[in-house]
Structure 1
């Protein structure tokens, strides 16, 4: 190709423009730093650029943005836009570089490296990341990875679980769970089998692996549904018994089954009607203060309704839930309060609540202000159902009137951002408390430490 180049006045010179040299990247044992994501430090699979000009792997930067950050991780500059622009040139360079590297090891070879890396966390993590890279959608090798892992579940699953349960960095944990998801139906056979696996002591391993898969955010919904379908298609009675015997981790799997759209109503009802369900859930809640046990009870009540409420109360759930309200973390305490509302809707539940009126009033009032809006409204409702609805229970009214700062806390709820129904129930509770205090000569308590709060 020729081009005219301006020279001295009145003169013109012609020179030939050489075509660009073909892009050839020599093989190198090390990967250029520009090919690595600044966040994960791994070779980028889908490089994208922020408006600041910095480039990251799409998965890593999306996780950064989804967590609420609005700055560029590398430059710390504020982001005026969170649009991600694919860096096609860099992606092409990474692919050219990959073509110069030796062939990647097979899944079987990577698993051998993982088995041989005992006591070397860095080598083991590298093997896990390498194996996870092979199940990326564009690789099309998920079946070969699953086949390699399934060929020796008893050695590979414990190794992967050590990562999934926190034995490595965040990215390695995600990758380990993704690998476990590829063989989740095979792992489920330890639970759905004929019992020989139980003798071999592998049920605990299987339950932990299934719970990790069902709780992970990086696992596709299709994989989770396939796993739950495999569990539901087996003997449900054996599955439920085995999961309950596995303790809090097994309850996580059971709760996922009850809340999943995969099982039909008949299968969920069969689970909720199991006679051992609520007694075992109450036992697990008492022994381990398991939030999953509370969620599982709530799911069963949602499925079965009134019969499940009665079964839950007969199993002794009310005192266990009261203990969770007092001592559990905020999210679990809120769930326990919501479940106590369900218990208070039946006569047996209301009687069980009044059976330890002082302890229940202290637990609910003590936590009422230290939970979120859902928990506050549930706390008011369970007290209203116990003290006012259908005439209420006198023991609960007396206990509420004697609870420290009961009036002040109810006024705080009324003046907060609560629903009209909650405000009405809180008002009725205030009147019931004041009448009880006046009956017992405790009216002065109405004004103690609450003079700054206006009731209306």
Structure 2
């Protein structure tokens, strides 16, 4: 009888470099290379004083157990039990779709926390990402509570790994997109839809981390439902940390024009307008909201939506002052784009109605950057009116009006 597991690809880093078999007791030499204990012990007992893989001379023949990799192999092995036709283990999961137990992945996280500084741990952490991506890549839209729990734990591991300053960070992010592609994104989408708040935050931050180039941004944006779920994270009623994670991810993903247009079509301007008008929004949230709106204002579709939403323009004018320097720059750039550069009449009227002229005048007397000052001057040119206007009546001798 042909065994099903003969067709299952074994991750290369699970194999001992000497025996090429899956390691039962992985241990690491001082060179950082991991071997199965039996194989490396036999090598050393034969009188060798070098690392078999690198041929470096060993300054010590001591080795340490690689507990992280050991647990990864256990998790991987347990995940294959449903596929083995000759298995007699009564404790095996009853459904082929079941993922490894939640407590196993929890143990792995604790193990990573307990070995943060060792070279072998860093090596295993980078390899852990590969395995966790494999688990995440197995997700779909029909998962039960237990599977969601494991997906959440896998997302947590990946988030921790991407936060670590390890040499393979960028390489692993590229691998994550190339190897699993849409399958991995599908599982991250499941977590965004059904996971806990912490897991959704981790998922958004993972997506932000892997959006390193145009290809990655397009892959994320074109995954059905992913952008809309990120947008839903920014609802005013949501947790502030969740909102900021969603906004940061949208900023990272939405630099290509095509993605901006897609985001606008999903109703981003309306969502962001609500956040802009929320008096409870934190400064950092307002900065990110204005940044996304600034990106939207660079495309025709975005400008149209901003001009259609009178509350949005009024909110931008309101946030010109007394928020932060970054918020001020984003707000001025949006107004300059829609009112001066593209001369949108509806936006000009909305700015005037929201007392934008006075705020722009105040802004010009603040300690703003030369770029902001120039954009403000351009905006004033647009709003030239007759001699009875606020500009003509403005007392130029008043030189100490400050917005803060």
TM-score bucket of the superposed structures, by smaller chain:
0.5 to 0.7
Question: Normalized against structure 1, the TM-score is what?
Answer: 0.55
For residue 355 of structure 1, what is the aligned residue in structure 2?
A: 308
CA distance in 1, matches of 2:64, 2:252: 37
Aligned residue runs from structure 1 range 198-237, under 5 A = 198-199=143-144, 200-201=147-148, 202-214=150-162, 216=163, 219-225=164-170, 227-237=172-182
CA distance in 2, matches of 1:140, 1:410: 68
CA distance in 1, matches of 2:335, 2:328: 11
The answer on whether the counterparts of 1:411 and 1:453 sit within 8 Å (CA) in structure 2 is no
The answer on whether the counterparts of 1:434 and 1:446 sit within 8 Å (CA) in structure 2 is no
Q: Report whether the alignment pairs 1:246 with 2:191.
A: yes
CA distance in 2, matches of 1:160, 1:376: 45
CA distance in 1, matches of 2:114, 2:384: 59
- Aligned-pair CA distance for 1:426: 0.7
1:284 to 229, 233, 254: 233
- Aligned-pair CA distance for 1:424: 1.9
For residue 259 of structure 2, what is the aligned residue in structure 1?
A: 308
Q: Report whether the alignment pairs 1:320 with 2:271.
A: yes
The answer on whether the counterparts of 1:350 and 1:386 sit within 8 Å (CA) in structure 2 is yes
- Aligned-pair CA distance for 1:174: 6.7
For residue 185 of structure 1, what is the aligned residue in structure 2?
A: 130
SS at 1:222's partner residue? coil
1:424 to 371, 374, 391: 374
- Aligned-pair CA distance for 1:427: 1.6
The answer on whether the counterparts of 2:360 and 2:376 sit within 8 Å (CA) in structure 1 is yes
Per-residue Cα deviation, 1:376-405 (whole angstroms, up to 9, x for no partner): 211101011222223223x3222222325x
- Aligned-pair CA distance for 1:306: 2.0
CA distance in 2, matches of 1:397, 1:258: 35
CA distance in 2, matches of 1:213, 1:151: 20
Query: Cα 1:371–1:180, aligned 2, differ >3 Å: closer, same or farther?
Result: farther
For residue 334 of structure 2, what is the aligned residue in structure 1?
A: 382
Query: Cα 1:141–1:398, aligned 2, differ >3 Å: closer, same or farther?
Result: farther
Query: Cα 1:269–1:399, aligned 2, differ >3 Å: closer, same or farther?
Result: closer
Larger RCO (CA under 8 A, 6+ residues apart): 2
Q: Report whether the alignment pairs 1:410 with 2:355.
A: no
CA distance in 2, matches of 1:282, 1:321: 9
CA distance in 2, matches of 1:140, 1:378: 55
- Aligned-pair CA distance for 1:222: 2.5
- Aligned-pair CA distance for 1:446: 6.9
SS at 1:374's partner residue? helix
- Aligned-pair CA distance for 1:254: 1.0
- Aligned-pair CA distance for 1:253: 0.9
Give the length in aligned residue pairs.
Answer: 299
Query: Cα 1:427–1:313, aligned 2, differ >3 Å: closer, same or farther?
Result: same
- Aligned-pair CA distance for 1:314: 0.5
- Aligned-pair CA distance for 1:311: 0.8
The answer on whether the counterparts of 1:309 and 1:343 sit within 8 Å (CA) in structure 2 is yes
- Aligned-pair CA distance for 1:412: 4.0
CA distance in 2, matches of 1:197, 1:234: 22
Q: Greater Rg, structure 1 or structure 2?
A: 1
- Aligned-pair CA distance for 1:191: 0.8
Question: Normalized against structure 2, the TM-score is what?
Answer: 0.61
- Aligned-pair CA distance for 1:361: 2.9
CA distance in 2, matches of 1:194, 1:447: 63
Query: Cα 1:255–1:444, aligned 2, differ >3 Å: closer, same or farther?
Result: closer
For residue 400 of structure 1, what is the aligned residue in structure 2?
A: 351
For residue 369 of structure 1, what is the aligned residue in structure 2?
A: 321
